[in-house]
A and B are shown apart, each in its own frame.
Chain A
Amino acid sequence: MSAKAKPALLWLQSITCNGNSHSFLNHPDLFSILSHFELVYHPILETGQTIEKMLAGTLPCDVLVLEGSFRQKGLRKNGVEVLEVALQYAHKAEHIITAGTCATFGGIFKQKAPDAISGFCFDEAEQTPRYRQYADKLISLPGCPIHPKWLGYVLMMIADGRQIPLDEMHRPQELYGITVHTGCSRNEYFEWKVDTKGFGLKEGCLFYEQGCQGPYTRGSCNRILWNDISSKTIAGTPCLGCTEPDFPRTTLFETKTRMGIPETMPLGVPRRAYLTATGIAKSFKIKRFEERIITYDR
Chain B
Amino acid sequence: MTMGNRKRLKRESIIQTALQLFSVNGFHKTTIPDIAQKLGMSVGNLYNYFSSKDILAQEIIKYTSEVLGEKIREVNMLDVSAEEKIHKIVEIYFTMAKEKPEMIEYFLRVYLSNREVFSSGCEGMICVSEFITEIMIFFDDAVASGELRNQDFFSAFGLFMGYLGGMVFLKGEGVLPKEIETYIDDISRNIYNALKA
Contact = CB atoms under 8 A, between A and B. Distances in A.
17 contacts: A258-B143, A259-B143, A259-B152, A259-B153, A261-B139, A261-B140, A261-B153, A271-B137, A276-B129, A276-B130, A276-B133, A279-B124, A279-B126, A279-B133, A279-B136, A283-B129, A285-B123
A271 B140 CA distance: 10
A77 interface: no
A84 to B, nearest CB: 44
Contacts of B9: none
A280 B126 contact: yes
Given A261-B136, A261-B139, A275-B133, A283 B126 contact: yes
B129 A259 contact: no
Interface string B140-157: 100110001011111011
Interface size class on chain B is 20 to 34
Contacts of A282: 124-125
**Highest count of chain B CB atoms <10 Å: which of A257, A259, A271, A280:** A259
A272 B151 CA distance: 20
Interface of A: 257-261, 263, 271-272, 275-276, 279-280, 282-285
Given A259-B153, A276-B129, A283 B123 contact: yes
Nearest to A261: B140
Nearest to B138: A259
B144 to A, nearest CB: 6
B139 A259 contact: yes
Contacts of B136: 259, 261, 275, 279
B126 A259 contact: no
B132 interface: yes
Nearest to B153: A260
A261 B140 CA distance: 7
Contacts of A272: 133, 137
Contacts of A276: 129-130, 133
A8 B125 CA distance: 62
Interface in B139-197: 139-140, 143-144, 148, 150-154, 156-157
Contacts of A280: 125-126, 129
A138 to B, nearest CB: 34
Most chain B CB inside 10 Å of its own CB: which residue of A260, A275, A284: A260
A177 B144 CA distance: 29
B109 to A, nearest CB: 22
